[in-house]
Structure 1
Amino acid sequence: MSAPDGKKAPQFSALKFTPAAPQAAPCCSDTACEQPVVQDTLTHASYRWKVEGMDCAACARKVENAVRQVEGVTQVQVLFATERLAVNATTDVSQRVEQAVQKAGYTLRSEAAPAPETSPLRENLSLIVLIVMMLISQGLERINHPAGQAAFILTTLVGLYPILRQALRLIRSGSWFAIETLMSIAALGALFIGATAEAAMVLLLFLIGERLESWAASRARQGVSALMALKPETAVRLRDGKRESIGLHDLHVGDVIEVAAGGRLPADGQLLTSFASFDESALTGESIPVERSAGENVPAGATSVDRLVTLEVTSSPGASAIDRILTLIEEAEERRAPIERFIDRFSRIYTPAVMAIALLVALVPPLLFTASWQEWIYKGLTLLLIGCPCALVISTPAAITSGLAAAARRGALIKGGAALEQLGRIEQIAFDKTGTLTVGKPQVTGVYPHSVDEKTLLTLAAAVERGSTHPLAQAIVREAQSRQLFIPVATAQRTLPGSGIEALVAGKTLLICAAEKFPGDAFNEQISALEQKGQTVVMVAQEGDALGLIALRDTLRPDARDAVNALRQAGVQGIMLTGDNPRAAAAIADELGLAFKAGLMPADKVQAVSELNRQAPLAMVGDGINDAPAMKASTIGIAMGSGTDVALETADAALTHNRLTGLAQMIALARATHANIRQNIAIALGLKGIFLVTTLLGMTGLWLAVLADTGATVLVTANALRLLRRGD
């Protein structure tokens, strides 16, 4: 939440785009002009920065508040997921924006500048110092009470300094009652009435929470940056019969590029090679490679499965399929309303109200009714202590921490309290198919011999396919190995473009191809029946004669049915969203009793999720890069533990044990945590309300106020710890 203490904003010029600015006149000499272009006639300018020091969505709002106060700024947007600040202005405001953000306690750097390197020791030095001082203070308290009290006061002041400074910065930038203000008042109020140990402990717990939140935020952002790893940094361009390696920014529409077998496409392209197979799972989730012919389009990020290919580039820099996914994630992040922590929201009313009431109690009776100053100042201080939000501050984090710990025991990683709260509201779940509801790789589901026995058919097919990187080939080899069959050596293996693969086994030519590409119609009825069940069927032929069929399909996870049934019992409805073909999708959906939408690209998934999300809170469960934008567009994204790094880092929660049955358990725990938070808030505010009345009536004093605050804290913590039992 608060920016790391002691950081100095780097000096730089913002990356500036001025679409409406006039072009500069041609330079009058061969050397560069010394005078910069004057932009007095500038009507619109856009600026982009990277923001450092943001730990949560509330920080993004604080940066926005600070920048909005800069004269000339017309629009401000902070994207927390990508740490990006975008500003539109009518004048050159770059330096003033940098100063405003720095005054708010955050730092800016150019998008092109590398992130500064900081050591873990330096980042956590203030926290380590505070922990050491806390231990020393506790030791002195047991030996010598006055010395212990003095040590606790010093510890509190050391811990309070960066928080209070940040609170003052935020007040100057327009955020009057942020959580830093709340914490400062809590610590100062506790010091004022002599609760020195409590004051120091509240600050210590707050700073620990800040560091954990900062770590989680940085981990979440890694998922967005990992998308860029799908595109190679360079491309091989063919020009005038020569190969040259160039950077992606030098690649333009119309260029001809070459991609080796196993290499990823650096840009969208039109295939020039007569035939090739591409693994497009990064974009569609389809586990089986797609066969492309000359003239067909292939997206950036796809992998050439088995051959060197040439393509004509069809996307300009920054506009490829991967770039569009990045844009979708940012747009989805923008559409999602930022989740404010309850305490931060409530403090905007609670904190100033308590301060005002305490001040009025101390001043009004003596001034207007000639009452005793000593008596009413005492009552005012008592009210200030009663209003000290220590128990309230702890109530929500205590429940959330217990809920997150209980989830972790069950193999579920939930990234923060906001995600846990949203998870408890879920009424719908959208599932990706491949790798989520299914195993994620094809398996042999049936061997159907014609003129040989089953073992011979599978043995010959495995001999031809052994050594191939094609997922279907590997599935056939795995099946033969699992049956402990002896696989003979095949020779003269070659791929037949558009047909299949053939080889010599025991001196005879064997061919494996897609069943529909084998001449003749003797097996059409059987092939059609298998394909209607969502299976991929291949034909095995020897010397032109059919030996039999092998059927393959991506199979259901063992726990998929139980998971879907458990969610239904919890009142959560499911739907399957997949990039697979409708036939394969229908086969899986029918087994689970789910509705489905098939043939969806990432943008289609985002649209479907957005429509469902408007009807009721929805969670998106996926495992692939193609699922990342939909996860961001949903109320909460949940990744499978076996998924890609991008899916895991983009999601708000992950099933680290990779069991779908954990979904219903996770939702039940989230709902219990939400109920626990409401109970804690009721305890904290209820006790304060009771003692507020008794103090005004003169029935209670400072020592009971301390007891009320401490008692509320103990009750709230004990109630939160009950959640840990759910993880056993």
Structure 2
Amino acid sequence: MTEETYYVQGMSCSSCAKTFEENVKAIDSVNDADVNFGASKITVYGEASVDELEKAGSFEQLAISKEFTQTSFDLKQTLASNWNLLIATCLLAIGLYGMFQFGDHHPFTVTTLIGSIAIGGYSLVITGLKNLAKWRFDMMTLMTIAVIGAVIIGEWVEGAVVVLLFAISEWLEKYSIDRARSSIQSLMTIAPDTATVRRNGHEETVKANDIIIGDTIIIRPGEKIPVDGTVTAGESSINQAAITGESVPTFKTMDDSVYAGTLNEDGYLEVAATKRADQSTLARIIHLVEEAQNEKAPAQQLIDRFAAYYTPLIMIIALGVATIPPVVFGLSFETWLYQGLAVLVVGCPCALVISTPVAIVTAIGSAARHGVLIKGGSYLETLGRIKAIAFDKTGTITQGKPAVQNFHLFSNQLTPQSFFQIASALEAKSQHPLAQAVIQYTDNQFGLNDSHSVEAFKSLTGKGIQGRIDGQDYTIGSPSVFTLSPEKQLAVNEAQEQGHTVILMSQNDNLLGFISIADPIRSASKHMIQELSDAKLTHSILLTGDHDKTAQSISKQVGIRHFIAKLLPADKQTEVKNLQQSYGQVAMVGDGVNDAPALATADVGIAMGSAGTDAALETADIALMGDDLSNLPYTVRLSRKTLNIIKQNIIFALSTKTLALLLVIPGWLTLWIAILADMGATILVTLNALRLMNNR
């Protein structure tokens, strides 16, 4: 079974998207179809031509294409494609003039208004009748019954106004939804279509999709990088905002990774392609965002279930309003039929159904532009309700690169230079993460000494290392390896209380001194924790494998309220479960690699610095593509704002319809009021959701 994905232009409401999907499934050569409303795409399983797909979407005048084309507002094109709306408007104006000049029932007035209804409402009525024949009740069906009913009872003007206002609101809704989708569309256009590649000693221009792994790509100043790769020559500042959301350019040199869609600002680079265009980090982000926009949040699932019962209920109520007063109480049949038609219009569920998906689509797209990948509306909604958040220490609160903070010598036998050169010679034989910190510090401060040859090297598992240099036996290890005098123990304790890890070195069992090593805290960590607290995320917990003193020191420095220390990766998963029992829903922030079990267990797993990290992109529910900690409070604020807007939209849509329906009791509800209440509500909830585009 073949599978093809097509881009759809003009898809403005989720119920219409469902109708389009069912129409495509009805094509004989199609086995199945899946519409992604948020990304405005359809995946067809089977075979179908573009013409067949456009015919299936003709009720909405949908345009189908294989290649993505960015859409922008064009007044001339809009007017040309809505010629029927322009003619219907002119005929309505002429009909109103005829009504005032010749009267409501003059042939000129009636003919003109019927023409306005026929031209402006042709596609609406045809689609509505088809839906009615299939017992499919959506807004098209309700509007069609209302228009036909208005014509039957001779309400020509109001029938024409219903058609016209419905068409205008449909166009405004399409425009608003396209604006909501603009964030994902902007991502799809940032990577260049072509690139300069060196092959067989010659430079040639090729399509980005034709670049293969291993190709050498020439990137000149001001050009964008077409695929992910590694720098093989040159150095430059790269603007990675499209991927990571970081506004400050990142300096890249030999062997550094670069990403598709990022901008080379000032230098010449040669880059070896490590991924094809369709496998790049940017391509994966676009794919994941599109999938996320199609995933329904719990609120949307609830609204969809409600709408399935709501629409038939409205039709029953409208039927009751139209028949019970005339039959039971002997009131005017024409008057109450008119009221019943107005109930159909005001009861249209469009505003209610669109209230949630447009907010989710806008929020996820807005987050993607800021370097935050949210994998679905459910995670966005859950994060908006969370009160507790757990942090991994290394690489999240700290920089993830241990560095020497201080040192203390107990003996005058060695100078600081000799002390560190011997220590680095021993650590060069070790695989311990702290070894690189000692070697890096020695190289920067004193320079490495290649003449120190280490003999009889031995690793003391979990404790330290031993070796012989120039006939002297040296041991480097944790305090537990050595017997310390009270004075030396006090010095070690003071360093540990500052959150440092202490390693000592001895020569022939004579203690020479110790080195204090720590993973530096990110400068933004304290501000980030404060911002989360301001956003009512009150419970913050640090999870770390370090000892209690280090965990306590770091928690105090950044403002984290609780800490749990001495944890293995598997222990973190257990602690997340315990936190869920204490606080309910819990978010977990980590690097997405060794924290994978804990991230998967948390209600929302958030991975830091995920650009180019496959494990983080796959494991996390939310991925912060850069190392900018300010993106975490931004994401929490966005989720809270999205939840509030969804609530506002649902309350407003239901309140508007309830108030309009109450006008039936005194008989004040008119088709004019009904259409303004329904379509006005639809436009307002959409515009309210679009406020998320400017969230900072």
Quote the offset at 1:452 in angstroms.
2.6
Q: Which amino acid aligns with 1:622?
A: G
Distance 1:481 1:186 in 2: 78
1:130 aligns with 2:24: no
Deviates more, 1:588-597 or 1:523-532: 523-532
Q: Given the alignment of the two structures, is residue 422 of structure 1 paired with residue 389 of structure 2, yes or no?
A: no
Question: Deviations for 1:541-597, whole angstroms, at most 9, x for unmatched residues?
Answer: 567765432222223222222222333344312122234444543342343453222
Range moving further from structure 2, 517-526 or 675-684:
517-526
Aligned to 2:515: 550
In 1, Cα distance between equivalents of 2:426 and 2:497: 27
Retained in 2: the 8 A contact 1:404–1:413?
A: yes
Change (3 A) 1:641 1:447: same
CA contact (8 A) 1:385 1:705 kept: yes
Q: Structure 1 CA distance, aligned partners of 2:129 and 2:518?
A: 62
Give RMSD over aligned pairs.
5.2
1:487 aligned to 2:448? yes
Cα contact 2:346–2:677 (8 A) shared by 1: yes
Contact 1:361 1:377 in 2 (8 A): yes
Q: Which runs of 5+ in 2 are unaligned?
A: 6-13, 15-29, 35-43, 66-70, 90-116, 149-161, 188-295
Name the counterpart of 2:311.
351
Q: 2:324 is paired with a residue of what secondary structure?
A: helix
Aligned to 2:635: 666
132 and 648 in structure 1: CA distance in 2 versus 1, 3 angstrom threshold: closer
- In structure 2, the partner of 1:564 is 529
> Which whole-Å CA distance do the structure 2 matches of 1:686 and 1:536 have between them?
61
CA distance in 1, matches of 2:121, 2:629: 50
Code of the residue aligned with 1:514 in structure 2: it is: G
Q: In structure 2, which of residues 398, 419, 433 is the aligned counterpart of residue 471 of structure 1?
A: 433
Where in structure 1 are there 5+ consecutive unaligned residues?
A: 8-57, 59-101, 107-115, 172-179, 217-336
- Of 681, 690, 696, the residue aligned with 1:721 is 690
* Percent of aligned pairs with the same amino acid: 34
Q: Residues 446-465 of structure 1 correspond to what in structure 2 (within 5 A)? A: 446-449=406-409, 450=411, 451-465=413-427
**One-letter amino acid matched to 2:448:** I
- After TM superposition, list the pairs within 5 Å mapping 1:287-302 onto structure 2: none
> Where in structure 2 are the equivalents of 1:72-471 lying within 5 Å?
130-131=62-63, 139-142=80-83, 145=86, 194=163, 195-196=166-167, 339-341=298-300, 342-369=302-329, 374-408=334-368, 410-449=370-409, 450=411, 451-466=413-428, 469-471=431-433
The offset of 1:391, in angstroms, is 1.9
Aligned to 2:8: none
Checking the alignment, whether the CA contact within 8 Å between 2:321 and 2:336 is kept in structure 1 is yes
Q: Deviations over 1:220-279 (max 9, x none)?
A: xxxxxxxxxxxxxxxxxxxxxxxxxxxxxxxxxxxxxxxxxxxxxxxxxxxxxxxxxxxx
- Alpha carbons 1:609, 1:630 under 8 Å: kept: yes
Q: 1:622 pairs with 590, 594, 608, which one?
A: 590
Shift of 1:473: 1.7
Residues 403, 340 of structure 1: CA spacing in aligned structure 2 closer, same or farther, 3 A cutoff? closer
Q: How far off is 1:359 after superposition?
A: 2.6
Q: Distance in 2 between matches of 1:366 and 1:154?
A: 31
One of 440, 461, 476 as aligned partner of 1:513:
476
Helix, strand or coil at the partner of 2:566:
coil
SS of 2:519's partner is strand
The Cα of 1:470 is off from its aligned counterpart by 3.6
Once structures 1 and 2 are overlaid, which stretch shifts more, 197-206 or 583-592? 197-206
Using the size of structure 1 for normalisation, the TM-score is 0.54
CA positional deviation for 1:514: 0.9
How many equivalent pairs are there?
A: 488
Q: Is the Cα contact below 8 Å between 1:137 and 1:151 reproduced in 2?
A: no
Quick check: which has more Rg, 1 or 2? 2
How far the C-alpha of 1:211 sits from its partner, in A, is 14
Letter matched to residue 636 of structure 1: V
For residue 139 of structure 1, report the CA deviation from its aligned partner: 2.5
Q: Distance in 1 between matches of 2:126 and 2:513?
A: 79
Report deviation, 1:716.
2.1
Contact 1:563 1:664 (8 Å CA) reproduced: yes
Match of 2:9 in 1: none
Taking the aligned partners of 1:641 and 1:549, their CA distance within structure 2 comes to 33
Aligned residue identity for 2:678 = D
SS state at 1:452 partner:
coil
Match of 1:711 in 2: 680
User: CA 1:402–1:529 in 2, change beyond 3 Å: closer, same or farther?
Assistant: same
Distance 1:620 1:201 in 2: 40
Matched, 1:683 2:652: yes
